[in-house]
Structure formats: structure tokens, C-alpha cells
Structure 1
Amino acid sequence: MENGSAWCGHEKVATMRLRELLDELGLFLLVDQDAEGGALDREVRAVLTTDLADPGRFLAGGELVLTGLAWWREDGDAESFVRILDRAGVTVLAAGEAEHGLVPDDLVHACRRHGLPLVAVNQDISFTAITEHVLRRLQPRHVGSLAAVVERHRRLLTGQGGPDAVLELLQHSLGLDAHVLSSTGRQIAGAHPPLRARTAVALAARYLAARRSREAAPHGVTVGDRHYSLVPVRSATDPSTPSTATGEAAELGDWLLAVATDTSNWPAGDVQLLDRIVELAVDARSAHDQTKVALNDLARRLLDLLHSHVPPAEIPVRLSSTAQAVVSQKDTWQRCQFVVAEGEWRGTGPIPASALRVLLEEALIQPDGPVPVSTQDIAATVDHEQAVLFVLVPEPTDGLPEPALDCVALQQRLAAVLTRWLGPTGSVSIGVSSPVAAAEQARRALDAARTALRIAHDHPDRVAVRGPDDLTSHILTLLPLIPAETRRAFASRLLGPLRDHDSRHRTDLLPTLERFLECDASWTTCAAQLHLHVNSLRHRIARIEQITGRDLARLETRLDFLAALKAC
């Protein structure tokens, strides 16, 4: 041994003594190995953070073990934990005081019985700072050894919040700037500060284009004056599950690891580190996919009900015993919007709906947007060549009177990442409905979303998103092309019976119809604006349908009435 280093095989591995750790970090030794301070000369060769009651499978000996004591609940709990650490040859246990306010006497006594040095870590010192300090001392240049640390963290963090801690560790210990992004450029994990939004979107766009061209990974790209290596993070979920896109265009559902360096010439040890980071991200991706299974089952069941002859009022009842509670924690219908999408490679057929579904599940996530949408607010499925999504949106408030998805922002977001991937001939079209406040409106909302999809399909943009406002404007742009006499005759034929009825019986059916259409056929919104009970409004609409012989549940009927009102 020399200069704080030990020889292990043919590789020189740095070590540090416990006394150096205590002096450099200002830590306090609660339990020494013996009365003469013999523990201070013990070597620290690794560091592990854990709150598992049995961390034995992650121990190799010589570790500084950091624990927040989440596993300790009462006297007696410490004995088995300390016994496992002692048998594994752990150098020292460092216990945080934040969880219980102090280190429990039960742990102190157990460490004394087994002769395991114990250090108290007060709330002012973070485990991350200790870990970074130890790793800088132990492995300043040995990236291959750090890969083993990443692997250990990968096992501990699986299903417990993702890879942020490890990516931050790598940034501080090696200066390695790495981020996990979605295919739309949303940062899923990474060290702080996050990538600039424009940079993240540019990286996602370059990644999709490279995957479409079947380039070998890692993909080297330059954004601004910085070089990045982009590595696929594909789900390890069984492809048969409904949350996984496979086959053609599956890259639309990928995550990607963006490393701010050129990894193409890395040595084998460094590549091992990269592989471990990717495995960590794959674990996080798989956990994410599993959370979507129940939600997407809900979407499938809801779409089947909308295609059936089940009365609208029964739809929430039939869903309440399935995954509806997963989405909203309630057994009633929640305010949502329908999103329908199609894509095509001109000359080579449609883009698979399963790939578009996964893309939109990601693109619609806006937890910090004006209308916040989280991953748990989206249920998605496919219907032949269409992706169909149901997105929960907030209830109206004074500050946000009509919360709804921003179609313009969605189009800009998708166009930024898809334009290179689509090339000069591909296209993606998306239709969005008005918010649906009751199950009775669900079928007409799905119909409206599909009508908006047809309008988007006719648009020259390669990525086009159209919504409720476009339905109205589309119809109104056609009216001037119709001769004035024809427009007046059409309006008279459609609205004349209602005017006659209002005149003879002093009713307000025509103003009610106009307000109903202005409210996008929302029963609750229209009733509130007219100061009516919803049942009274239903009676009026039923009377309008009886007089005109038209079904207002059909989108075509509502558009006809809207055109007639605008033609007057």
C-alpha cells in the first residue's frame, strides 16, 4: 500500500481512511471499534446509500454505508440490519438524523455489540455531498469502477423514482453531462440545470431522423457548438402489452440518453459505464410503461362502449368498476377531450397507429402548462389506423374559465421533432374535440374529433392539429361560396319552424339553440348561461329536435344549424 492506494489484481484502486473521511467532512463518530480509536484506520473502498432492511446483496466489503433509517420503526429493528453489515465487512455505517431527529439508541447499542463503527450525519450534510466527496477520493480516473457504482444504484432505484440521482452523481464526479429525453424532447431525468427546451427538442428531432435512416447508435450530433451522443432507451416491457409500440416507426415511443460528449471512441471500461446508465433508464422506462397499462385498458373499454348501443348515461357506471378510478379517483365522468390521430408515408402506407399513440401520450404531457396535463391524465388506445386518446382537463375556474388543450402549441411541439423524421412526403394529422363534461356528450365529441381530423388531413402542413375552433371556421369559410339566395332558403327551411313556434307560443327555442351551439353542445355550460336546470334544457332541445326532425346529437346536424344561423 502507498499514498492512500491499494493494489487489486493489476489495477490500482484508490482508498481513504475513516479518519480522513471524518476530518474532511466534519462527521462525528458515535461508536468506535474499540476504546483506543482503532476504527479510524479502517479503509473505505466504496460507498453505498440504502434504506433497505436487508442490503446484503449489494455489499462486497469495505463500504461506507449511508442510511436515512427509513427501515427503522422500533427497538429491535437495528440488530438484524447491523448484523448483515458486520458480516459483509462494512467499514462504517453513517446514519442520517433527519428521519427521526437523532440516531436511535437501538442502533447505537447494536453497533457496539458488533463492533461496527457508527457515524451520525446531521441534517445540514446531504448524502449526495458525502457520496460525491468519497467517489472523488476513491475513483478520480477509474470510470470502469464507477460503472459498478452505477449498477448498484440501478438495482436500488428500480421502481423508486428514476435515474436522476445517478446522473447527478456522474455530473459531479466525472463532469459527465447526461440527460434522458422523450422523443418529443421532454426531459425525464438528468442533472441540473436541465437542457434548454430548444436544445432538447433539437436533440429529439435529430434522434428520430437518425433512427428513421437506420443509422447505427450512438448517434453523434452537434447542436449549437456542443457535440452530443444519442443512445436509444427502448422499453423492456413485453411487446404484447398495450403500452408498447413495436415494429415500423416504433422509435416514436423511444426515450433517448443524450450524453454531452463523443462516445464513439470510448474505451471498453467507459462503454461499460454508458451501458449501465442505459440499463438504468430502461428500468425507469419499463416502470413508466407499466403504469400506463390500466389507463390504456380504460381507453379500450371506453372506445368499445362508444361504438356500442349502450345508453350514454350507463357509460360511467360501466367504467367505474374498471380503470376509471385509476384516472380520476372518482366513479363519475370527468371533464376530458378526445384526440384522434393518423399518419401516412405517401406511397408506402400509413404510420402505425400504435406508434402515434405512444408519441401523443408523451406530447400531451404538460404538467407545468397553462392547462396542466400529467401522464396519469391520459388514456390511449388504437382504432384501426387511428390513435385515440382521452385526456382529462381541469374543471373551469375564475382564473381559467374554459381550460382546454392548446392545439396550436401541440402542432408546434410535434412539428419541431417530426419534420426531419417525416421527410418531404410524410404527414401526421390530429383532431381534437371540445371538452366533454358529461358522458352524454362523449359520442358527439369523438365524432367532432374525427371531423377535425379530416380537416387537418386536408391541410398542407406536414403536421396539422385542428380543434373545435377549426370546425366553425371551416364551415364559415365555405358560406361565401354559396349564392345568397340559396343561403337564405336553406336558413329559412331549417330555422323557419322554430321561428314560427316561438312566435305562436312565445317560447325561446331559437335563442336556446343558438346558445347551445355556442357552448359546443355542453349541457352544463349552456344551462348555467341560460339560468336553467339541465333537465329544463334537455326538454327544450328535445322539443327543437321534434319540431325540426333533426338529431342534435349528430355533428352534421349541429354544423347545419350553425351554418343556417350564420347565413341569416
Structure 2
Amino acid sequence: MNPRIDRDIAGSIDETESKQRFPIVRSSKPADPAATTADPRPEGVTIVLLQDVLDAPELGIRLLHGDAAALTLPLHRACTTDMPDPTRYVSAGSLVFTGLVWRRAPEDSEAFVAHLARAGVAAVAAGEALFGEVPADVVDACARHGLPLLAVPDDVPFSSVIEFLTRRWSGARMDRLQTGLARQRRLLAAFADGHALDELLARVCREFDVPAWLFTATGTLVAGRDTIGEPVIDACCAIALTAPRLPAETADGHTVLPVGAALRDRTTAWFLVLGAGAARSEDCVDAFTELATVAALERVRREDRLRAVWDTADARGVADTAGATHPAGTPLVAVVVERAPTGTPEQRIALRAAVHDVLPSCVTGLDAAGRTVAVVAGTESAVVATLTRRLGRLAPALAGARIVAGVSSTCAGESIDGGIRSAESAAAIARGDAGPVSVRAAELDSAVGLLSAVPDRVRRAFADRTLGRVLDYDRRTRADLMTTLETFLDCDGSWRRTADRMHLHPNTVRYRIGRVEALTGRNLAHIGDRLDVFLAMRALG
């Protein structure tokens, strides 16, 4: 037969290109006629089985090889081919019709059937017109490879069988559509009545006896009651963020379904994960796809609530909002998260939303540089571990950009401003790290690091007491004492190096530093006084 005709016939009767296929169950046991009398379909599920072809009296098709399990195989497609190597013209789950034109000698049967078995077809339907019957070598080859074999009488054209299957598939599609609409109406009604998303997910899981989970792109669990390991979540997140289209399947058989617009910024996406093997049932996938529509509504609802929380935090300030949210004495941790390069306003908002996914109870704001500043109850080590794992899952979707985060040590309400400064310093260090995502904890192994954890009002008061008169003198005289002092400290107190860097005479440097000492009451030749002045300058920011 012409290969082009093969492709046209196969394409014209394909039930659906996008559905997941059932696994092929094969056996070399002889046929059991008694097993053909019971309908194996679950109640309410409409699918086309190999048994349906045998049960149609007008077709007169007989089973030459296959057991009871073979008769329960769902058929999704019919292909007609007489090519010696039919691999290009058949697909998994197909019922393959052949007129046996390819058979020139008995040994040809082994090669033809082996090709079909490797392609994963559901069954073979051989016409009897050419030889008056299906040759024994064809039957034997199908038995060796575990392929069910049907005999099509010489007076029954393949087109009649294909028309029969097409009508059944059309009816099955309509039944599934009606069942899906009814199920979706029930889910929407339950959601409108206030039933939680976790409860609705549990209902569908019980209906199909399939575990399932609803996640954000960072792997934060939204709904789902079964246990699932972190490595599985990692794999599912990677698929959800990188697959060219969804649904998609992980290497271990978990199915990932989109929730809402899956191809927009996936770092803010939600997705459903079905337990391994769930994709074998089209009705199951349809049901969870309908649930995903309801989940998309919940996602929009949560986004609206989050925006309201943001407005409050932005109006009051992160530190004040966090202090008012948590009881006095609650251990708090400050976090600064940024995208490098900074990105668009939408990307900054997406990163802020991701921080809320990772740290659901946090208070956030955006600083002048567009960074997300967060305050959350907890400990430094726990926050670092959570950020590292969950923000790390966004790496596949960053497309060359980076996410860096700094985490402060534990602070109380009155020292939140200091914690934020400490987190900013840690984030600055994280920028120098390699890799798409870096999280750094603040280091309190230096005087500057210790100062950053001091409450902001205390730090400002210290700076004003130490350098206030110098600042006032500069404002009145423009003597540039502060610049000279900063350069002098940066040059380790060297008059010559300071003069060279500022292009001044050393005596000018000595005069200016003398004025600083007179105004501050500190002797910069003494290490303690010099440290006080250095820390005061750092406190000024």
C-alpha cells in the first residue's frame, strides 16, 4: 500500500493526539471465549475496547489469539498498513489493519509482527481476503510477541470496521464531555459553597483511587494529603517549569497538569501532580484537569488577598507591619531577595510572590532598589534552608538571570531595621557567588556585622553623637572633613597615601584630621577612638 495513503487513513481516524495512552498489556495465553461476555468498563466510564469489535455481529470478526486482559485494552486509533516495516505508520494503542500484502513467505510474519510489538500497538486485525484465512505463521508470530490477533472476514471491508470504531469513539468523546461538564459544575458549586480546595482534591483522589497534590512553582504544597518526597517534588517542579507543553510526565511516571495559564511567568504558576500511573486513565486526567480550573479560581482569589496585604505593608513599612503582626519577643528574621539583573516590574512582583510562597507567614515590601524585603518569624538556619531549597527550584526558569538572598540573624521587634541592614549585607555577598540561586546568612564575625544587628534608632544615635559636629561643620563651611576622614580611615591612617589619593598636600590632610579630632574629642592615633569613628561612619550608611 502507498505510504501516503497509510498516513492519511491513520490521521483521519485518530481519536485524539493530545491524550495520554493506556499501557499495553500483552500475554501469550490462548483466548478464553468465556471471558468475552463480561463488560470490564467501570460504571460511568465510556471507552472503546477490543471486546467491542468482537461483540459487533455485523462485523463477524473472530479472535485468533489473545487472553481476557487483551480484550479489555482501550482502543484509541486505527491504522491500515501493508508496508513490510510499518513502524512509521502505526502508534501505541492502535488497532492495526493489514491485508497481508507484505507476506511473500512465512518468515515475513516474524519481522512484520516484531515491528508492531516494538511500536506498542494494541492488536492486529488481519484480512482473510488474500489467502482465504489468516496463515498459521502470522498467528504464531503474534503469539510469540503477545499481540492479540483478529481475523476480518473476506467480505468485510476494513472501512466498515473503521466506520464502526469512529462512531463508537465519537460517542465516547461526547459521553466524556458530558461527564466532564457535570463534574466541573459539581466542583464549582462545592467551591462556591465554601468547600476548601484540599477537600475537593481529596474527593477526586478518592473517586479514582489516585494520590494527587497541588503545588506552587517553588514546591510549596497548596493541597494534598498523601506523603510525597522532596526529590519527587524537585522533579515535578523541573518539569512544570521547563516542559514545552503541559500536561507532561516525569521520569518516574508522575503526571504534571497546569493550573490556569501555564505558559505565562512559570515562577508564579501552580500545578497539579498525579501519582505515578495516573495518566493511564483518560477519564482520570480529565477529572483532574477540571479540578485545575477550580484551583485556578482559588489562585486568583489568593493573589487578590496577597495584593491587599502588600498595600498595607507598603503603606506602614515592613518593620512596623512585622512588629505589629507578631507579639513582643517573637524571634524574627529579616530577608532581602533580589533578581540580578533587576528585571521588569512584573518580574519583581513575581519574585515577591515567590517569597510569600516560600515563607507564607512573612511580611514583605519593595525597597528603593526593587528588592523584596521580608520579615518572618523563625530562626536563621531554618529560613536559610527553606529559601535555598524552594527558591532553588526556580532555577530552570530563570533564563540566565540569578536570584540572590541575604538572611539576618534572629532579631526582636525593636531591632528589625538592623536585621534588614544585616540581610542587605549578606545579599551583597551572595551576589559574588556562582550559580543561579544563592542564599547567604549574615556573618556576625566582624564589628560591622555586629553593628548591622543593632536597632536602627540606637545606631543613628551613636553616629550622631560621634560625628554630628563634623557633619554640621561640613554643612556650614564645606570643608570636606567627612570625605577626608573616610579616605584617611580607608588608607589605614597613612597621611601620605591619603594625600596622594585626594591630590592634597600632606599638611592639608593633617590639618583636616586635626579638626576632626577636635570636633569629635577622639584621638585617631588610638585604635579604640579610630574604631569608634569608623563604626559611626558605617552607621551613617
Output the TM-score relative to the length of structure 1. 0.45
| TM-score of the superposed pair, with normalisation by structure 2 | 0.47
Larger radius of gyration: 2
